[in-house]
Amino acid sequence: MSEFIDLRMGFFTDTTLCIGCKACEVACKEWNQLPSDGYEFTGDSYDNTKELSGDTWRHVAFVEQFDQKSDTGRWLMESDVCKHCTNAGCLDVCPTGAIIRTEFGTVLIQDDICNGCGYCVVACPFGVIGERQEEHTMGKCTLCYDRLKAGDTPACAKACPTESIQFGVVDELRERAEKRLSAVQNRFEGAQLYLNDPNDGVGGGGSIFLLLDKPEVYGLPPNPLVPTKDLPERWRTAGIAAALLLGAVVLCASARE
């Protein structure tokens, strides 16, 4: 993480408060002028959005956990978004420098530099990034970078009527998430935090989630790993090996003389 970032900003999404209203989706679409997803239901609960993509930067997942025999159960709802990873694979592999770390610690795709190659798509363990159909560049949540620069709150968090989506300084959000988990664990047996650990496979997220079941129930990878996390160490190892090989070549040449 850049030393020039004073306060890293991000999201804490508390799914215990989500009512599935999709206000966040609408606010995101309107503010960022993203095209509609249409009005056809997917057949997967009450969902017309399907998933995150280049033109959908917020997606409210509906998970139905009902016993058909007894007709008892519960709804799980979760507003998904880019994780703005500490170790961002998309940023590491971008060949044009279109993906940057902003002064707010967020991960941003610059449309005017992106060539749409798609390297970032395969480097993201969450399947967040996709092609923007009209621009033919890659797209994902910007954490409303333009609003942040103006000192405002991201559109999704501002529109959320239950404060399920909370915006703030990441370190403070992590503490808030821990306190909230302690408060609800007695009520929700499967409650757990997701991407709150700086030592996980992505170095912790700039988007933190309180879930009521295992991550995979929501379509999230249980143990996400950025493929480029160990890249610096691999380059160091390769450099040492190359130096040793060069040294051996020089010694052989000297011996022949």
| Residues 137-158: tens digit of each pLDDT | 999 999 999 999 999 999 999 9
Identify the bridge partners of residue 176 per DSSP, sorted by sequence position: none
Identify the bridge partners of residue 185 per DSSP, sorted by sequence position: none
Please name which of 146, 143, 17 lies closest in space to residue 84, comparing C-alpha atoms: 143
Structure tokens at 154: 């991201």
Alpha-helical runs (H) found in 58-169:
89-93, 119-123, 145-149, 155-159
Structure tokens at 214: 């295992």
What is the per-residue pLDDT for 236? 55
| CATH level 3 topology of 9-225 | Alpha-Beta Plaits (3.30.70)
What's the pTM?
Answer: 0.86
Please name which of 170, 228, 220, 229 lies closest in space to residue 199, comparing C-alpha atoms: 229
Q: How many CB atoms lie within 10 A of CB 40?
A: 8
**Which tens digits make up the pLDDT trace of 155-187?**
999 999 999 999 999 999 999 999 999 999 999
Please name which of 68, 64, 105, 111 lies closest in space to residue 85, comparing C-alpha atoms: 105
Map out the domains of the chain as residue ranges: 9-225, 227-257
Phi, psi of 198 (to 5 degrees): -65, -10
Residue ranges, the chain, pLDDT below 50: 3, 234-235, 238
Q: Are 27 and 152 in contact (CB under 8 A)?
A: no
Identify the bridge partners of residue 53 per DSSP, sorted by sequence position: 56
What is the per-residue pLDDT for 46? 80
